[in-house]
A and B are shown apart, each in its own frame.
Chain A
Amino acid sequence: GQNIDQPTEMTATEGAIVQINCTYQTSGFNGLFWYQQHAGEAPTFLSYNVLDGLEEKGRFSSFLSRSKGYSYLLLKELQMKDSASYLCAVSAWPYNAGNNRKLIWGLGTSLAVNP
């Protein structure tokens, strides 16, 4: 079956670094997404990985290992506003075959940043 696993909750301190892991088991793989969702708001796109390695975007970086079915989102210099849920999503067959354009979503990791 298709499955995505993320920790349910994490806490970290302002100014620190935190790594949020995501593992997936899918029939195929076309790309992995990270989204940020503040409480009561819609998810917003953070990053996309399709090749192995690290993609850096300011304070946020995302890493992918396709052979291990593993990704992480790294947040540096944490700020209070980074308190949010972080969703991992995968594009994989058959959900992206033909006219399908569906993503497989994890349940999200709720990150609390403390002062």
Chain B
Amino acid sequence: DVKVTQSSRYLVKRTGEKVFLECVQDMDHENMFWYRQDPGLGLRLIYFSYDVKMKEKGDIPEGYSVSREKKERFSLILESASTNQTSMYLCASSDRDRERWETQYFGPGTRLLVL
């Protein structure tokens, strides 16, 4: 079974703090994704990575950065947290070289509250 884990289920931070969200997958997947999910807005892609040290902007990258130093780990960084970044953050991974390679497997999510 594919397993994607995220460092925290719940997180409370102050405005202006730097926030790190970690995601680890154990299936040797090439692709990893960070989404945020808000009521009425659905899943929105922040960044994705298709290989180590490679990253591509998604639909809403402003205010975020990412790091992929190892294949299994993809980090999302909020450089200076703001209240409008309060959201559910979901990490996902997929395998580029398999049939149905676009199938994404999600971690449990991190619910971030910025005060």
Residue numbers of A with Cβ under 8 A of B are 30-31, 33, 40-45, 48, 87, 91, 96, 99-103, 105-108
Contact = CB atoms under 8 A, between A and B. Distances in A.
Contact of A33 (B54, B102, B107): B102
B106 interface: yes
Given A99-B56, A100-B56, A106 B103 contact: no
Contacts of B109: 40-42
A30 B102 CA distance: 9
Interface residues of B, number: 27
A27 to B, nearest CB: 16
A87 B35 CA distance: 14
B106 A42 contact: yes
Given A99-B50, A107-B42, A108-B42, A31 B100 contact: yes
Given A41-B108, A42-B109, A102 B100 contact: no
Nearest to A101: B31
